[in-house]
């Protein structure tokens, strides 16, 4: 592949990184805190590509003059190298969906970690918004003491349990989508039955002492007693 072709591919790839990082698209790939690093990487790639293209065109012009003076034909690189642009264009034009129920069904639930100290009070309001991972940790390791007596609001997507019953799930990232693992919470009460997988729902409920096991990796799974629920749009940041 010629240096010019490499530079064009790098320019497009850098442009794709900038497009993703300057919009909410980057949240499909990495954690929210990595945005500044993506922007910096995209700017560097675009700058390097533009510099390389400028030097390549300048060198090509001098080479053509020399070849004309000597009466020789120029050497052309195989054009098949330009096909490498196709996957970069795909990255520019096609936005992949966020990980959902299929990934949750293939991976075992994240092991909710106990807190090193007492759990802080829940946010004010009724119902109190609680992240799925925080709920599971409080339910499993605090025996629901910090949850009891409060009405809770949890948001996630529907994923079917092995017995077909719906579970509430969300993908937890350590760094990027490649290492995403689900946190799953079982549901009792007014569960959203017959709701298609990957449907995002917001449930209002209370702590349930019931527990289960994730058959994929045999970790404990917390449950929540659902009082009501409604379908919602996928959040801007679908990951936890």
- Tell me the per-residue pLDDT of 7-63, one tens digit each, with 9 for 90 and over: 888 888 888 888 888 888 888 788 888 889 989 998 999 999 899 888 888 877 665
Domain annotation covers residue 237: no
Q: Report the percent of the chain where pLDDT is more than 90.
A: 41
Same domain, 112 and 89: no
Half-sphere exposure of 223 (CA within 13 A, CB side): 17
pLDDT, the chain, mean: 84
Q: How confident is the model at residue 2 (pLDDT cuts 50, 70, 90)?
A: confident
Residue 12 phi/psi, 5-degree rounding, is -65, -40
Same domain, 107 and 84: no
Same domain, 87 and 126: no
pTM: 0.75
Element (H, E) at 204: strand 200-213
Total count of domains within the chain: 2
DSSP helix/strand/coil, 222: strand
pLDDT of residue 44: 93
Same domain, 44 and 148: no
Same domain, 10 and 60: yes
Same domain, 67 and 151: no
């Amino acid at each position: 592949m010629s240096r010019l072709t490499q530079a064009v591919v790098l320019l497009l790839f850098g442009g794709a990184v900038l497009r993703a990082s300057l919009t909410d698209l980057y949240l499909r790939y990495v954690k929210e805190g990595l945005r500044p690093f993506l922007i910096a990487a995209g700017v560097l790639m675009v700058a390097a590509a533009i510099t390389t293209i400028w030097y390549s065109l300048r060198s090509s012009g001098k080479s053509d003059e020399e070849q004309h003076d000597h009466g020789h034909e120029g050497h052309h690189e195989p054009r098949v190298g330009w096909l490498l642009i196709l996957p970069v264009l795909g990255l520019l034009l096609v936005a992949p969906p966020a990980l959902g129920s299929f990934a949750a069904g293939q991976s075992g639930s994240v092991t909710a970690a106990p807190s090193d100290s007492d759990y802080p009070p829940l946010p004010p309001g009724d119902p109190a918004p609680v992240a799925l991972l925080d709920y599971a940790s409080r339910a499993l390791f605090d025996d629901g003491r910090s949850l009891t007596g409060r009405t809770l609001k949890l948001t996630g997507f529907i994923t079917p349990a092995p017995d077909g019953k719906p579970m509430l799930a969300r993908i937890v990232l350590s760094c990027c989508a490649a290492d995403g693992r689900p946190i799953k919470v079982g549901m009792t009460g007014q569960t959203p039955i017959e709701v298609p997988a990957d449907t995002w729902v917001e449930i209002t409920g209370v702590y349930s002492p019931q527990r289960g096991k994730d058959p994929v990796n045999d970790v404990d799974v917390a449950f929540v007693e659902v009082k009501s629920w409604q379908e919602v749009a996928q959040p801007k940041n679908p990951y936890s």
